[in-house]
Amino acid sequence: MTTVWKIEFGRLAGVVAAALLSAMLTGFWALSFLAGLTLYIIWHLRQMRRLERWLSSGGSLSTAPDAGGVWEQLVNQVHRLNQRNRRRKKRLSDIVNRFHRSTEAMPDAAVVLRDGGVIEWSNRAARDLLGVRNPQDHGQRIGNLLREPSFRDYLTRGDFDEPLDITSPVDPELELNLRIVGYGDGQYLLMARDISSLRRIEAIRRDFVANVSHELRTPLTVVTGYLESFDGEELPEHVREGVGAIDRQSRRMLSIVEDLLTLSKLEMEPVEPAAAEMVRVDELLVGLVRDAEAFSGEQVHRIELDATPEFGLRGIASELSSAFGNLITNAVRHTPAGTRIRVSWHVDGERGRVAVRDEGQGIGPKHLPRLTERFYRVDTSRSRARGGTGLGLSVVKHALTRNGGELDIDSTPGRGSTFSCVFPAERLVTLGQAAPVLADRSADPDGARHSANP
Ligand code: ADP
């Protein structure tokens, strides 16, 4: 038994002893015990009241009731609990303050949203970048403050895997990259980053490449033009080889410049939905296959075409032609002579697919994610030797993106590759029944070499 309980039982024993003595002296046993116990209970009730008053006055140690025994123990324990709670509260408020200070100092905007896009909290940068004021706009819907249609669509779709770029509602000069992440139960954190300087640097880079390519094209065209007028047979022996090399290299440079210009155009020109036309993919592919046959020349690739005439595509014909043409040219360029290349256009389920399948040596999986990067080649010297610029697949990717499509690459080393251009249902145009276009090399052996440019 602890000391406090010994004291408490001592007190009770004292009361009982006093009642016993009183009973023996007066002869009123019941009354004596009743009086003793009543006094004992009254004393405890008084202590209880003191404790209750002390707790409601804040429970500081200096004003603690001094009753000894079990009451003193209770007072001490309550005081310790109080202190522990205070320390915990302080620690939590320190954490909250630190979080507040760091989010306030953040250059990126942060807005906490409840389900339905209601603003719960925002930092200072949210005011500067998004115009969300703290705390005046809390409780408002974010869609009422950020009215850009692309943002509203983004919110309505509710698919926040990809970030969204918008113009700041506060300053039209500011370009923002916006991301929304879900956390907890129906809560979202919206973050916005100022990417204006990044965009400016990108624009400078694009302009530089476009200007340099443009400036180089004219002198190169003149050089290749003059070189064309030379008849190799008439040239003296000692210069013939040199002139041949100059001719090859200047043509290569011209192809690179042409591809860079095509890329710049695809990157810089705004996508004009009104410019989209109905493209007869089957007819387009017939022309491209002819060009590829001419390009294959003596290598005699067997190029087969299977294109449905039932569907067309809504898009920009020159860009789609550039994308499909580059894939077919690549199949010729990167596969051995005489191998089969199958070009097809089909609609499977909801999506349309232009596929170019070859039986070449294929591409290792580690190269696949990088193939559409500019100048990325699996085998640089072989690509150069076959007239590749390393820009073809970049052109394909850009041209497809502008026309609502995606590039899908499937390749098995040693067995061949399939490059597919996949288009969503909204890009498809139903044309009705007609005989499918099935062509092979024997159909028409004539045709011009297909260049990487439209
Ligand atoms: P290039 O002008 O060299 O063809 P691309 O950007 O068109 O440049 O292609 C990048 C690289 O991808 C090529 O250098 C080649 O290594 C690889 N590649 C493209 N198409 C094929 C293909 N059908 N088969 C094998 N490799 C390919």
- Ligand 1, atom 14, lies closest to the CA of 377
Query: Mutation test of ligand 1: which of 255, 371, 391 has the most ligand atoms closer than 8 Å to its C-beta?
Result: 371
Instruction: Please say whether the beta carbons of 351 and 423 come within 8 A.
Output: yes
Q: Is the pLDDT of residue 5 over 70?
A: yes
Span from the CA of 383 to the centroid of ligand 1 (angstroms): 7
Instruction: Fill in the DSSP letter of residue 270.
Output: P
Atom from ligand 1 closest to the CA of residue 358 = 23
Q: Which two tokens stand for residue 423?
A: 């288009």
Q: At what angle do helices 3-26 and 69-105 cross, to 10 degrees?
A: 150
Give the residues across from 111 on adjacent strands.
122, 190
Give pLDDT tens digits for 372-429.
Answer: 999 999 988 888 888 889 999 999 999 999 999 999 999 999 999 999 999 999 999 9
Mean pLDDT of 7-11: 89
pLDDT band of residue 435 (cuts 50, 70, 90) is low
- Does 330 sit in the ligand 1 pocket, CB within 6 Å? yes
Return the closest-CA partner of residue 104 out of 131, 122, 119: 122
Instruction: Please say whether the beta carbons of 296 and 336 come within 8 A.
Output: no
Q: Which two tokens stand for residue 357?
A: 């399948």
Q: Which residues of 115-130 are buried (b: 16+ CB within 10 A; e: fewer)?
A: eebebebbbbbbbbbb
Q: Which two tokens stand for residue 28?
A: 């009123």
Give pLDDT tens digits for 244-296.
Answer: 889 889 999 999 999 999 999 998 888 877 778 999 999 999 999 999 999 99
Q: What's the pLDDT score for residue 186?
A: 85
Give pLDDT tens digits for 155-204.
Answer: 988 899 999 999 999 999 999 999 999 987 889 999 999 999 999 999 99
In angstroms, rounded to a whole number, what is the distance separating the alpha carbons of residues 310 and 199?
42
- Does 387 sit in the ligand 1 pocket, CB within 6 Å? no
Mapping DSSP to helix (H, G, I), strand (E, B) and coil, where does residue 412 land?
A: strand
Q: Is 375 left (phi over 0), alpha (psi -120 to 50) or beta?
A: left
Q: Which of 15-19, 69-73, 93-97 has the least mean pLDDT?
A: 69-73
In angstroms, rounded to a whole number, what is the distance separating the alpha carbons of residues 156 and 101?
32
Instruction: Fill in the DSSP letter of residue 141.
Output: B
Query: Mutation test of ligand 1: which of 377, 379, 391, 453 has the most ligand atoms closer than 8 Å to its C-beta?
Result: 377
Instruction: Please say whether the beta carbons of 413 and 362 come within 8 A.
Output: yes
In angstroms, rounded to a whole number, what is the distance separating the alpha carbons of residues 189 and 29?
77
Tokens 């990717």 sit on residue: 397
Q: Is the pLDDT of residue 332 over 90?
A: yes
Q: What's the pLDDT score for residue 434?
A: 56
Atom from ligand 1 closest to the CA of residue 372 = 6
Q: Which of 205-209, 374-378, 392-396, 449-453 has the least mean pLDDT?
A: 449-453
Mean pLDDT of 51-64: 87
- Does 332 sit in the ligand 1 pocket, CB within 6 Å? no
Output the average pLDDT for the chain: 90
Amino acid at 69: G
Q: What's the pLDDT score for residue 445?
A: 35
Highest mean pLDDT among 60-64, 349-353, 381-385: 349-353
Amino acid at 258: E
Mean pLDDT of 303-316: 95
Helix (H) or strand (E) holding 85: helix 69-105
In angstroms, rounded to a whole number, what is the distance separating the alpha carbons of residues 167 and 147?
11
Q: Can the peptide bond before residue 107 be classed as cis, meaning omega within 30 degrees of 0?
A: no
Span from the CA of 242 to the centroid of ligand 1 (angstroms): 29
In angstroms, rounded to a whole number, what is the distance separating the alpha carbons of residues 286 and 283?
5
